[in-house]
Structure 1
């Protein structure tokens, strides 16, 4: 399993347009950048998306590379 979700995967999994998925990615990447993480445009760490998006569950994965937000 990949560690990063793409805009297509996010749009499909939560049922929104690609343009809206890009807005979500930008917002969540901004949160990560504020916590001094390096981000990749158009991609979002799977574990961070799972944590922040209520009701989203992927098919597993063990690599959590972000720190907990307080």
Structure 2
């Protein structure tokens, strides 16, 4: 079973960005989720929401 959360290492690797920028992006996405009433975990973001915000409404890209 795949983890429902994506970590900064994975975000940095997938987007070819630095780890500090990946943390900044995760913080931004988690702020959006918190504004919608969701509980978030620092340093991790929901994998489905991450793909939705970066790639659009379509299916998760692998």
Which band: TM-score by shorter chain? 0.7 to 0.9
The aligned counterpart of 2:24 is 23
* Distance in 2 (alpha carbons) for counterparts of 1:8 and 1:31: 21
* Distance in 1 (alpha carbons) for counterparts of 2:44 and 2:61: 17
TM-score between both structures, scaled by the size of structure 2? 0.87
Number of equivalences: 58
The aligned counterpart of 1:64 is none
Q: Which runs of 4+ in 1 moved over 4 A?
A: none
CA RMSD of aligned residues (A): 1.4
The aligned counterpart of 1:8 is 9
Higher helix residue share? 2
